[in-house]
Structure 1
């Protein structure tokens, strides 16, 4: 038996994994929609999140204060392996119960955070490296409202930029991106 969010975390990871695999070595220094990260730094951040949130699924702790360099050896395959471990860690029936020791937030909120990171940073990496990205609609449907709800806290912590007001015809995904401070039409040039 599993919980309802584990398959969505897995589908968010499955949508992001081909983007990570598609990053070429010469693109690692390219800019991303996350102005504080180039492609390499964003990949390391996302890797660190995937590894760290495995521990948080079990209500453990994890040191997010520094980010090691994960981009050694066959890091593209290893990213896929780590996302499998992430989905497995969140698949325990009680993974969404209680409060995260490592974050001090409800476990369900922590699960939404990692799902949101996979969805939004998957897009960031795709935009930065000229790849296609389509988030899983079910994962987006779950993570989108949660990201909008946590946006004020995330902005205060510096994790989100200032919200860009969406036009009336914005898609649900564009609304999520704009909520996190991203321009859906961003390009590296």
Structure 2
């Protein structure tokens, strides 16, 4: 299988397209993440991508501290997203600069596992954003297949600390249907 880090830039690009497509009146719409509006979902991903340069460099979380606490969107979710990924996206292809082990909320992980988690997050939240903002809900098959393989191989991602909703029965036979159902999404 390809290095998961190579798949993250395209997933960022797909999420960027969705962010740009949100109607200005749609930022407060609910998403399948019950506690998050469309705005909250984008803020979550901004946070993840502001942290990514530190994580990829092997910086421990406590050294980064709370520098990304507070209102990351500053009233302009698309601009905030662009600022976050302008720093994150180029680093995903600069693999020679990545630490072999990175520090995340799960502790120290191989950088490839961190990339799998980021790809999963981007792929599923792309669907959440599309559903919440009323956009088309098609997802990239390569991203879905990779995220599904990862979630099948790592049950902590399903059961850990309320990361995802409780699994539900899939509504169809596709990998997308299975991935979303495993993560508690009702298609």
TM-score under structure 1 normalisation?
Answer: 0.81
**Residue ranges of structure 2 left out of the alignment (5+ in a row):** none
Q: How far apart in 2 are the matches of 1:174 and 1:64?
A: 36
- Structure ranking higher on relative contact order (CA contacts 8 Å, 6+ apart): 1
Aligned residues: 181
- 2:175 aligns to what? 172
- 1:40 aligns to what? 39
Q: How far apart in 1 are the matches of 2:180 and 2:67?
A: 25
**Residue ranges of structure 1 left out of the alignment (5+ in a row):** 185-189
- 1:118 aligns to what? 122
Q: How far apart in 2 are the matches of 1:21 and 1:146?
A: 28
Structure 1 contact 53–86 (Cα < 8 Å) conserved: yes
Written as runs of structure 1 = structure 2, the 5 A alignment for 1:45-64 is: 45-60=44-59, 61=61, 62-63=64-65
- 1:152–1:93: structure 2 CA closer, same or farther, 3 Å change rule? closer
- 1:33–1:87: structure 2 CA closer, same or farther, 3 Å change rule? same
Cα RMSD (Å): 2.6
SS at match of 1:29: coil
More strand by share: 2
Q: How far apart in 2 are the matches of 1:97 and 1:170?
A: 38
- 1:71 aligns to what? 73
Higher mean displacement: 54-63 or 75-84: 75-84
User: 4+ runs of 1 displaced by more than 6 Å?
Assistant: none
